């Protein structure tokens, strides 16, 4: 995962705040962000021993003022055998975070995933140096 992609997912409030002030206090937004990322990191691709966040499959996370969370994610391939289950696992994990009203995942294919999106942690875990 590139630093830019991690920043997008890791600082959910930044882009939203630049457009308009959030109704969610900054400290609460920081807590939600950290806990949402932590929840996403509990979801693993069953064929790859690394979580989907570190694999770089999460492209965007938005937290609305009403605490609905919208997540854009991709899969390693359009033919991924886990295409039906991974989005539901992400939705369930994020919806379980205290303070989240609901979570909705949208699968996106642009840009296509490639191994350059993986974090150093995932590369180390998968021995891909």
Task: Write down the pLDDT at residue 1.
Answer: 43
Q: CATH classification of 3-126 is 3.30.590.10, yes or no?
A: no
Nearest to 47 by CA among 73, 74, 83: 83
Those residues with Cβ within 8 angstroms of residue 58's Cβ, 6 or more apart along the chain or in another chain: 5, 9, 40, 52, 71, 72, 73, 90
Over residues 99-110, the pLDDT tens digits come to: 999 999 999 999
85-95 vs 26-40: helix axis angle to the nearest 10? Answer: 140
| Exposure class string for 2-39: b at 16+ Cβ within 10 A, else e | eeebbebbbbbbeebeeeeebebeeeebeebbebbbeb
Q: In the prediction, which pLDDT does 19 show?
A: 64
**Per-residue pLDDT, 3:** 44
Could you report the per-residue pLDDT of 9-26, keeping only the tens digit for each? 444 444 444 567 789 999
pLDDT value of residue 18: 53
Q: Which pLDDT score is estimated for 34?
A: 97
What residue ranges of the chain have pLDDT lower than 50? Answer: 1-17
Which pTM was predicted? 0.81
């Amino acid at each position: 995962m590139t630093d830019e992609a991690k920043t997008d997912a890791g600082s959910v409030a930044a882009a939203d705040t630049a457009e308009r002030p959030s109704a969610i206090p900054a400290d609460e937004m920081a807590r939600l962000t950290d806990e949402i990322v932590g929840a996403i990191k509990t979801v693993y691709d069953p064929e790859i021993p690394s979580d989907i966040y570190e694999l770089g499959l999460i492209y965007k996370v938005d937290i609305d003022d009403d605490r609905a969370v919208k997540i854009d994610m991709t899969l390693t391939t359009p033919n991924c055998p886990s295409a039906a289950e991974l989005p539901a696992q992400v939705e369930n994990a994020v919806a379980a975070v205290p303070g989240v009203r609901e979570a909705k995942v949208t699968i996106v294919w642009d840009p296509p995933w490639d191994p350059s999106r993986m974090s150093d942690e995932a590369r180390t875990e998968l021995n891909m140096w």
